[in-house]
Amino acid sequence: MNNARYIKILGSADRQLEKISKDYLLSLNLAEMKTIQKYFKKEKKNPTDIELETIAQTWSEHCIHKTFKSKIEYEENGKREVINNLLKQTIIKSTRKLNKSWCISVFEDNAGIIKFTDDYNLAFKVETHNHPSALEPYGGAETGIGGVIRDILGVGRGAKPIFNTDIFCFGPLNLNFKQLPAGTLHPRRIFKGVVSGVRDYGNRMGIPTINGAILFDQGYICNPLVFCGTGGLIPANQCKKTVLSGDLIVAIGGRTGRDGIHGATFSSLSLDKDTKTSPVQIGHPIAEKKFTDTLLEARDKNLYRSLTDCGAGGFSSAVGELGKETGAIVYLEKAPLKYQGLLPWEIWVSEAQERMVLVVPPKKLKELLKLFSREDVEATVIGKFTGSKKLQLFYRKTRVCNLKMDFLHQGLPGIRKRAIWKAKKFKEPSFSQPGNLTKILKKLL
């Protein structure tokens, strides 16, 4: 099997940089590609395919929310203002200002945590899975709810999922097929697949869907809104996590395959009739149920220091986030595979489902592996966290990636956007006001 290949970006003109981004499905704009080009010019080398894929995943809309963090020139009724970071200037600012004591963990982990009782806190997470559900409704929705369940498992040192919730928005179910844009599934098919996907995944894990909402509108014909959420309970003393140099990187759960490759960068693209379904993953709720129970037992035995879900970038997002402050070294050939033939970059960024990464002190490894083996859950050491502040990946003794963590997580160039709001004017409805409002209210009820 080939190791990583080098991608020629040094000396490439703007048009060629844009072509590289498109050809490799990186979803990076020209400013981002030029920033990468500048970095590798200082490094005096061209990037490998796995280095480019890692940067694209880390800088994707799905993983870093660059639209929310962009600088927006906003205009309303002739008045202009500059919003430097939409998320920070609204939700985060209000939360920090209120500084409620019952907010235990906000904007810093896989889910939010609030105080529930003296002994337990409540973790909650919601996330959309729109693009995948538009292409493969059942699989997209199934893996959407599976992902937020793992986010609950991955908050703090692990919460126990106890309920699911959802909000769905679809196009009209009675839409004439002649009105469907090319390459678009009918809203009725999307509706049936999405509802079944969320229901089946939760039921097979023994997690009930306790409530939800649904809306039908013309605006959701091409791309539905599939909002999945999960809540869980976590012991009050298990909400903080840490990573130390020398800790081992242990992959648990499912094996890695090609399903889900480019799941992160895919979310930054606009859907069209040529969009492929390969970034949509296949769910396996029974496998997730098995490692859920085992994981919580390992937590209670204090067998690991930290953990996270293999999100939209697979090992790339999990190890990249956990090793952000320390650095990490990974041996890709050690990752358990569903089948042979995967290239190093495919092993690294695949979003194959039901996988998590644990941070394990070396002295706890033997007991942890014994526990997972007893429950027939695969657990494999694939590397360790270092003090190098670099992400270093090896495949069969060949180094295929060597990136500075600072550039990977802080190097994204700022985005500027312009927004104009024109308020619509509506005529006040003309009707005679009823005399007996109590009677009308009772009739409505």
User: Active-site residue among 62, 131, 262, 284?
Assistant: 62
* Residue 357 tokens, joined: 């990464």
Predicted confidence (pLDDT) at residue 137 exceeds the cutoff of 70: yes
Structural contact between residues 229 and 111, judged by C-beta atoms closer than 8 angstroms: no
Predicted confidence (pLDDT) at residue 219 exceeds the cutoff of 80: yes
Query: In this predicted structure, what is the pLDDT of residue 68?
Result: 85
Using pLDDT thresholds of 50, 70 and 90, give the confidence band for residue 160: very high
State pTM to two decimals: 0.88
Structural contact between residues 374 and 304, judged by C-beta atoms closer than 8 angstroms: no
The residues facing 120 across adjacent strands are 235
Q: What is the rounded average pLDDT of the residues 413-433?
A: 87
Predicted confidence (pLDDT) at residue 277 exceeds the cutoff of 80: no
**Sheet arrangement for strand 390-395:** 306-309, 355-360, 248-253, 379-385, 328-331, 390-395, 398-404
Query: In this predicted structure, what is the pLDDT of residue 433?
Result: 82
Identify the CATH class of 100-240.
alpha beta
* Residue 7 tokens, joined: 């991608």
Predicted confidence (pLDDT) at residue 122 exceeds the cutoff of 60: yes
Using pLDDT thresholds of 50, 70 and 90, give the confidence band for residue 242: very high
% of the chain with per-residue pLDDT over 70? 95
What pLDDT digit, counting tens, does each position of 369-403 carry? Answer: 999 999 999 999 999 999 999 999 999 999 999 99
Using pLDDT thresholds of 50, 70 and 90, give the confidence band for residue 1: very low
Query: In this predicted structure, what is the pLDDT of residue 434?
Result: 81
Kindly list the distances between the CA atom of residue 181 and the CA atoms of 170, 184, 190, 267, 433, in Å, as whole numbers in the listed order. 15, 6, 14, 20, 44
Query: In this predicted structure, what is the pLDDT of residue 124?
Result: 98
What pLDDT digit, counting tens, does each position of 70-116 carry? Answer: 899 999 988 999 999 888 998 999 999 999 999 999 999 999 999 99
Query: In this predicted structure, what is the pLDDT of residue 263?
Result: 55
User: Active-site residue among 129, 131, 262, 284?
Assistant: 129
% of the chain with per-residue pLDDT over 90? 78
Using pLDDT thresholds of 50, 70 and 90, give the confidence band for residue 264: low
What does the mean pLDDT of the chain come to? 92
To the query of whether residue 62 is one of the catalytic residues in this protein, the response is: yes
Structural domain spans, the chain: 1-80+243-445, 100-240
Query: In this predicted structure, what is the pLDDT of residue 389?
Result: 98
**Dihedral of the alpha carbons of 193, 199, 201, 203, in degrees to the nearest 10:** -150
Query: In this predicted structure, what is the pLDDT of residue 431?
Result: 82
Using pLDDT thresholds of 50, 70 and 90, give the confidence band for residue 2: low
Query: In this predicted structure, what is the pLDDT of residue 428?
Result: 87
To the query of whether residue 409 is one of the catalytic residues in this protein, the response is: no
Interaxial angle between packed helices 365-374 and 285-300, expressed in degrees from 0 to 180 and rounded to the nearest 10 = 140
Domain 1-80+243-445 indexed as CATH 3.40.50.1820: no
Q: What is the rounded average pLDDT of the residues 139-156?
A: 95
